[in-house]
Structures are given as structure tokens and as C-alpha cells.
Amino acid sequence: MEKKKLLGMTPDELKEVTLSCGLPKFAAKQIADWMYVKRVRSIDEMTNISKAGREALKENYELGVIAYAGLAESSDGTKKYLFPVETMVNATLGVENTAVEAVMIPDEDRATLCVSSQSGCKMGCHFCMTGRQGFHGNLSVADILSQFIAVDESARLTNAVFMGMGEPLDNYPNVMRAIEVLTSDWGFGWSPKRITLSTIGVLPNLRRYLDECRCHLAVSLHNPFPEERQSVMPVQKGWPIEQVIEMIKEYDFTGQRRVSFEYTMFAGFNDDKRHADALARLLKGLECRVNLIRFHKIPDFPYDCPPQAVMEAFRDRLNRQGVTTTIRASRGEDILAACGMLAGQHNSKK
Ligand code: SF4
């Protein structure tokens, strides 16, 4: 019988575990503390639980922390970790062994982890290496949290962005549970302000996210014109960006929670005055920020990144129209860890 994973469980769920294993109730709090505060990597390290208790736990449960299987380090200090995961594709294809990546980006006193939520992605954005590989399955809560626990910088992580492989709102229950663990007093105890979830606008779950979660939101916009956007982002057909922005405008972003828009720049496709002006019109009345992102060329995609001067002119035009816009520094390009470059290593089926 497959063992259940403890990583990701709430205190109430852990109480049931302790009861079923004949452990005292207070052991639930001890287990949560070992997992989420001390961030151990095995049940054997939970030394204030009796040896017999640990053995009883191990009969039906495992911790669920996966160790990274590969590491690449950029000249700018960015580190890309490779995690082997098992995902359930669907009933016909069964379980697959795949790999996902997490990227640690150091920046002065911050260390931000860019986390994956799926192996591959269903959304098929033409400019994205993850989208190119198709969908291999959702990550479990333990797989998502493992990325936080297993990286060498676990103890000094300050922020997280759900911007790695996959569309987080397409794996809603697991991503939300991981965020609950990260932001609860009984979990990592992080403020929601330290976490940003990035989406291309999965409308039904976006509504739930905005209602249920206090973390920041980033939306991949990339083109203000529906037809042009749809030509590189198939999602536009089902969940148009106009409706996404309309929904976002119903919520308050003037306080703690922030919304930003990611705009990857493609020369000759979305980088002229017409696009800047349409973008400013689309975002009118919304307290937000636009991040311009350098496109990193991938095979079989016709566009390049525009020159720096074009990006700066685009930024300035938006700023003049009252839309706070910055050009995001690109990190980890030399280890293929920058935006849109994560592909993992796709292994064989079981
Ligand atoms: Fe999926 Fe995001 Fe890549 Fe689009 S950009 S294919 S949503 S991972």
C-alpha cells in the first residue's frame, strides 16, 4: 500500500494521524514543528517522538520531502534546482516520472524562490519552454513544499513566487494548501505579502483566489489586443484578458495586496506605441505595476527581444500615462533559469 505523505497536512489532519498510530495528541504539534519550523527531511529526525512512535508512523506514512537531483549555479548567484517528481497524468497514461525546476534568486538581503506547481503545462503559450513540453501532471502539496525545504537556502528564503513551471490556478487545491502551510502560524508563519502567485488568467479559479487568499497577484498579459494575444496565448479564447482585468478591478489593491502585470517583450509583435497606449487604456483605474520582461529566444518562435532602447521607450510611454512600469532585471539566463526557459527533464513513463 502506498504510504501517505505527512508534508502538507494541517494540525487537525495530523491529530488524526497521531490517533491512528497510537501517539499522544500533542505529538501532532511536534510533527508540525519538525516539518514546518525545523524543516527536517525524514521522520527519523523527529527525535522528541519516541522511537516506537516514529516506527508506528513510518508503517503508513512518509514525510514526503524530495531531495533535489540536480543543481546549476549562474554567474549572478541564481541557482536552479531540479526535482524528480511522480505525477498522475490521467487514468489512461497513469503515473509518470518527470522533473520540475525551482529557481532561487538572491538579491541583496532577499532570497526569492520561484516555485513550480505542475510538471509541464496545459496552457501552451507559444513562447514558453514549459508549455512546449505538454502537460505531465499536477504537483502534490508535498512536491510543492519540498521545493522550499530541500533547497540549500531553505532557512534564509524571504519570498516566493509561483512563477515556475505550470499554471498555479490550474492546480488550485494543492497550491492553496501549500500557501496555507506557508502562511499559517502552525506552518512556516510567512506573511502573505511575501508570496506572489502568477497566472495567465484562469478565470473561475482567479475569482476564488481573490476571495480566499491575501497573497499578491501577477498576471501574464503580454499583449493588450485580444487577437494578437490569442495568436501566442491560446488561453485568450476561453478566458479573455479583458474579462480578467474586469474581474480584478472589482477588488481592492490599494492596501497590502498588490497586482502586477507581466509583459514579455517581442520585437515587432507587442512593442510599439499602439501597444503601450492600448495597455494604458486597459489598465486605467487600476492600482498596479507593469513589469517588462526581456524575451529569451527559444527555438521555432519567430520573435526576438527588442533592443534596450525600445523597451525603455515603451516603459517611459506607460509611465507618462500613469502606469508604473519597470524593466525587470533578467536573472539566471546562463543556466536557462530565466522567465519562460524552465523545461525540466522529462523522463520515461513508469
Ligand atoms: Fe504554462 Fe505559464 Fe508557460 Fe503559459 S507561460 S505555457 S501558463 S508555464
Domain 70-335: which CATH class? alpha beta
Which residue among 115, 123, 293 is best mutated to probe the pocket of ligand 1, counting the most ligand atoms within 8 A of its Cβ?
123
* Active-site position among 101, 114, 125, 128: 101
DSSP 249-316: HTS--SSS--EEEEEEE-TTTS-SHHHHHHHHHHTTT---EEEEEEPPP-TT----PPPHHHHHHHHH
- What is this structure's pTM? 0.94
Burial readout 257-269 (b: 16 or more C-beta within 10 A, e: otherwise): bbbbbbbbbbbeb
| pLDDT the model gives residue 83 | 96
Per the DSSP assignment, residues forming a β-bridge with 95 are 88
Q: Per mean pLDDT, which range of 48-62, 144-158, 279-293, 319-333 is the poorest?
A: 319-333
Fold of 4-62: DNA polymerase; domain 1 (1.10.150)
CA separation for the pair 160, 112 (Å, rounded): 5
CA separation for the pair 101, 242 (Å, rounded): 31
Counting from 1 in the atom list of ligand 1, the atom nearest the Cα of 129 is 3
Ligand 1 centre and the CA of 50: distance in Å? 46
Query: Going by CA atoms, what residue is nearest to atom 4 of ligand 1?
Result: 125
Judge contact between 142 and 65, C-beta under 8 A. yes
Judge contact between 184 and 218, C-beta under 8 A. no
DSSP 80-134: EEEEEEEEEEETTTEEEEEEEEEEEEEETTEEEEE---EEE-SS--TT-HHHHT-
Residue 262 falls in the annotated catalytic set: no
| pLDDT the model gives residue 350 | 31
Judge contact between 113 and 47, C-beta under 8 A. no
pLDDT tens-digit profile of 270-301?
Answer: 999 999 999 999 999 999 999 999 998 888 89
Mean pLDDT of 133-152: 95
pLDDT tens-digit profile of 71-109?
Answer: 999 999 999 999 999 876 666 766 777 899 999 999 999
* Active-site position among 128, 215, 288, 339: 339
Mean pLDDT of 304-331: 96
Domain residue ranges in the chain = 4-62, 70-335
Mean pLDDT of 300-322: 96
Residue 101 falls in the annotated catalytic set: yes
Helix or strand run (H / E) with residue 72: strand 70-73
Burial readout 214-252 (b: 16 or more C-beta within 10 A, e: otherwise): ebbbbbbbbbbbeebbbebbbbbeebbbeebbeebbeee
Helix or strand run (H / E) with residue 171: none
Q: Mapping DSSP to helix (H, G, I), strand (E, B) and coil, where does residue 154 land?
A: helix
